[in-house]
């Protein structure tokens, strides 16, 4: 059993799935006060509407994203944004991943390459 | 790959947990990719404007001086210039609108305000030129004024954009366009047209190249 496998349960399971990790990273690329329309997000993430909706629901349940339903004229529009809590969770998650890699990388890497990316 | 860094095999399963190294790489790649998709591609915009200035001002210069391989009559040269710049405006507008589509909030407000600054600036130039032309300014004065004013507005707006988005390439381009416009004005009509073509248009193309090279190495 490796160090990574021992430590994996510490990672936030809501985020630590490829599709939702990508989704969170994509939403974090928006400005702090920005929201993105569902169809644009779907195109950026290359997911089906159903798939994206399901992942968003999980993230919304955890309080990581805000889903806002409005109207543009007569057509309903849905806007998605990362909440403050979501941004924090993603930062914590990134830090946790880096911490997990640190001992492994320190052992594996050359002393002339101490910087972790 | 070192034996002490075991990696789980990449999986396509949506809910399978990721190896931390893969997860970090995924986070970084997705963040960068999304950011690029949400902002206009500077290579395209600088490239289009560089080509329009280079060819457009050159056509005006050859027409005014009778030098060069292709000498168009003045009305045809003017129409070519207007057509090239109009095409650049359309490409810029359509491309920027597509990149910003579906995003609401501070950044889209910023983008819209900045876009309006261009429109207002050039609207103002238009009325200044109509007014000076109507007050009996000579064709030489009009020839200096029209490209100098355009260069002034373009240069200042790139300085503003560079400052607002902390974009050094854009800021440098603004400085360069101001220098080229000042040099053109000092050179006088019709040499200023050649200066705007080579230094102005050339500056845009160099900026496009710099952004392209930097993007590849990033």
What is the C-alpha separation between B65 and B149, in angstroms, rounded?
Answer: 22
H-type alpha helices, B12-73: 20-38, 42-65
Chain A residue numbers with beta carbons less than 8 Å from the beta carbon of B27 are 21, 24-25, 90, 94, 97
Contact B23 A97 (CB under 8 A): yes
- The whole-number pLDDT of residue A7 equals 47
CB atoms within 10 A of CB B116: 11
CB atoms within 10 A of CB A66: 17
Chain A residue numbers with beta carbons less than 8 Å from the beta carbon of B31 are 25-26, 28-29
Burial of B125 (0-12, 13-18, 19+ CB in 10 A): middle
Q: Which structure tokens are listed for B113?
A: 């305000």
CB atoms within 10 A of CB A42: 18
How distant is the alpha carbon of residue A111 from its chain centre? 32
Residue of A nearest to B6 (CA): A2
Q: Domain map of chain B by residue range?
A: 32-217
Q: What share of chain A is helix, strand, coil (3-state, %, to 5)?
A: 55, 15, 30
Question: Per-residue confidence at A100, pLDDT binned at 50, 70, 90?
Answer: confident
pLDDT in tens, B119-169: 999 999 999 999 999 999 999 999 999 999 999 999 999 999 999 999 999
Under DSSP, the state recorded for A30 is: S
> Residue A116 pLDDT > 80, yes or no?
no
Most A CBs within 10 Å, among B2, B7, B16, B27, to test the A interface: B27
Alpha-carbon Rg of chain A, whole angstroms? Answer: 17
- The whole-number pLDDT of residue A31 equals 87
What is the C-alpha separation between B47 and A51, in angstroms, rounded?
Answer: 38
| E strand or H helix that includes residue A36 | strand A35-37
- The whole-number pLDDT of residue B15 equals 53
Map tokens 């390459």 to a residue.
Answer: A113
Provide the mean pLDDT of chain A.
83
CATH class of segment(s) A3-104: mainly alpha
Distances from the Cα of A13 to the Cα of A21, A35, A99, A100, B84, angstroms: 10, 24, 17, 15, 54
Chain B residue numbers with beta carbons less than 8 Å from the beta carbon of A36 are 102-104
Q: Which structure tokens are listed for B203?
A: 């500056």
- The whole-number pLDDT of residue A73 equals 85
What is the C-alpha separation between B58 and B198, in angstroms, rounded?
Answer: 8
Check if the beta carbon of residue A82 is closer than 8 Å to that of residue A28: yes
Ranges A14-18, A36-40, B69-73: which has the least confidence:
A14-18
Q: Which residues contact A24 (CB under 8 A, 6 or more apart)?
A: A15, A59, A64, A82, A86, A89, A90, B27
- The whole-number pLDDT of residue B6 equals 39
User: Does ipTM surpass 0.90 in this model?
Assistant: no
What is the C-alpha separation between A54 and A47, in angstroms, rounded?
Answer: 11
> Residue A111 pLDDT > 60, yes or no?
no
- The whole-number pLDDT of residue A61 equals 95
Distances from the Cα of B201 to the Cα of A37, A38, A72, B119, B176, angstroms: 37, 39, 41, 20, 11
Chain A residue numbers with beta carbons less than 8 Å from the beta carbon of B38 are 29-30
What is the C-alpha separation between B56 and B37, in angstroms, rounded?
Answer: 30
What percent of chain A is modeled with pLDDT above 90? 56
Beta strands in B95-188 (DSSP E): 103-104
Contact A30 B23 (CB under 8 A): no
Enumerate residue ranges in chain B where pLDDT < 70. 1-17, 216-218
Question: Per-residue confidence at A108, pLDDT binned at 50, 70, 90?
Answer: low
Higher model confidence: residue B8 or residue A95?
A95
- The whole-number pLDDT of residue B8 equals 40
Contact B30 A32 (CB under 8 A): no
Closest CA to B180 of B143, B160, B152, B159: B152
pTM: 0.82
Contact A101 B21 (CB under 8 A): yes
Q: Which structure tokens are listed for B16?
A: 């399978």
> Residue A2 pLDDT > 60, yes or no?
no
Contact A16 B16 (CB under 8 A): no
B18: contact with A, CB 8 A cutoff: yes
Closest-CA distance of chain B to residue A88, Å: 14
Closest CA to A88 of A63, A111, A110, A113: A63
What is the C-alpha separation between B1 and A51, in angstroms, rounded?
Answer: 34
A66: contact with B, CB 8 A cutoff: no
């Amino acid at each position: 059993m490796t160090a990574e496998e021992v430590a994996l349960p510490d990672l936030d399971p809501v985020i630590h799935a490829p599709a939702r990790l990508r989704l969170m990273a994509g939403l974090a690329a928006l400005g702090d006060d920005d929201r993105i329309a569902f169809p644009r997000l779907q195109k950026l993430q290359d997911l089906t509407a159903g798939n994206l909706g399901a992942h968003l629901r999980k993230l919304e349940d955890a309080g990581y994203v805000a889903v806002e339903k409005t109207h543009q004229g007569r057509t309903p529009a849905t806007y998605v944004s990362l909440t403050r809590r979501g941004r924090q969770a993603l930062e914590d998650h990134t830090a946790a991943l880096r911490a997990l890699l640190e001992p492994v990388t320190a052992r594996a890497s050359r002393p002339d390459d101490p910087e972790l990316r | 790959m070192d034996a002490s860094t075991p990696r789980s095999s990449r999986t396509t399963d949506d809910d399978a947990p990721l190896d931390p190294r893969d997860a970090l790489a995924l986070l970084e790649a997705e963040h960068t990719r999304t950011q690029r998709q949400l902002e206009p591609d500077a290579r395209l915009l600088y490239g289009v404007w560089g080509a329009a200035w280079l060819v457009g001002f050159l056509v005006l210069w050859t027409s005014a001086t009778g030098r060069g391989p292709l000498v168009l009559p003045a009305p045809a040269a003017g129409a070519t210039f207007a057509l090239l710049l109009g095409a650049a405006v359309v490409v810029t507008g359509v491309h920027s609108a597509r990149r910003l589509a579906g995003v609401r909030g501070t950044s889209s407000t910023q983008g819209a305000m900045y876009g309006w600054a261009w429109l207002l600036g050039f609207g103002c130039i238009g009325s200044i030129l109509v007014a000076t032309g109507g007050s009996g300014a000579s064709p030489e004065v009009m020839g200096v004024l029209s490209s100098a004013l355009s260069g002034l507005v373009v240069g200042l707006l790139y300085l503003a954009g560079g400052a607002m988005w902390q974009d050094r390439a854009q800021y440098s381009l603004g400085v360069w366009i101001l220098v080229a416009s000042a040099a053109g004005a000092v050179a006088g009509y019709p040499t200023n047209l050649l200066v705007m073509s080579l230094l102005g248009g050339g500056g845009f193309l160099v900026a496009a190249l710099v952004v392209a090279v930097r993007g590849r190495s990033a």
